[in-house]
């Protein structure tokens, strides 16, 4: 069974952003293409990542994930966040849990742009948080830890987004 391909507004936004022609102030005609949105802008415009964007904002990671990159983000949907136990998101968004929120979010990010063709050749990838995620391909379905990849290769000016159906939780620190 193949994973469902969800076509989000993010993909449409990325396509539109790369194909819209800008005009100069004199309206004399095209002067070039509008720049492609960055990872945060793509996620914010998609509609399926409101919780992720709120968490990135609360964690103080907007500037980082809007930077030059490149980054690969395994982006959990709002439905993925909804699968967490009740109250988890609200607790993580509290200022006293900033370090834990940052660790969870950076566990979804890999330095560099890793497109789907490369991802499927990997068994693991080291996240910005420092721990590895496990990557597997079974019957054409790609998983990252226990998350299924729903959509691949959503381009952004500073990297790529792969949509996942489960929030990735980093391993507990060794005591």
Q: What's the Cα-to-Cα distance from 123 to each of 136, 147, 153, rounded to whole Å? A: 6, 14, 18
Please state, in angstroms and rounded to a whole number, the distance separating the CA atoms of residues 124 and 115.
14
Q: What are the tens digits of pLDDT across the range 10-31?
A: 333 333 333 333 333 444 444 4
What's the predicted TM-score (pTM) here? 0.78
Q: What's the confidence (pLDDT) of residue 172?
A: 82
Please state, in angstroms and rounded to a whole number, the distance separating the CA atoms of residues 167 and 52.
10
Domain residue spans in the chain? 9-164
Domain 9-164 top-level CATH class: mainly beta
């Amino acid at each position: 069974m193949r994973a469902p391909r969800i076509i989000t507004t993010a993909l449409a936004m990325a396509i539109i952003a790369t194909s819209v022609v800008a005009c100069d102030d004199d309206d004399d005609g095209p002067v070039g293409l509008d720049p492609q949105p960055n990872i945060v802008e793509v996620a914010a415009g998609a509609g399926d990542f409101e919780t992720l964007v709120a968490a990135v904002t609360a964690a103080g990671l907007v500037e980082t994930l809007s930077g030059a990159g490149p980054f690969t983000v395994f982006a959990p949907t709002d439905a993925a966040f909804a699968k967490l136990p009740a109250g988890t998101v609200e607790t993580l968004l509290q200022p006293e849990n900033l370090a834990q929120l940052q660790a969870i979010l950076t566990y979804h990010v890999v330095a560099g742009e890793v497109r789907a063709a490369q991802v499927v050749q990997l068994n693991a990838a080291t996240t910005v948080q420092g721990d590895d995620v496990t990557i597997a391909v079974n019957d054409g379905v790609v998983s990252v830890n226990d998350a299924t990849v729903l959509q691949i290769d959503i381009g952004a000016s500073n990297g790529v987004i792969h949509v996942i159906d489960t929030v990735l939780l980093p391993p507990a620190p060794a005591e």
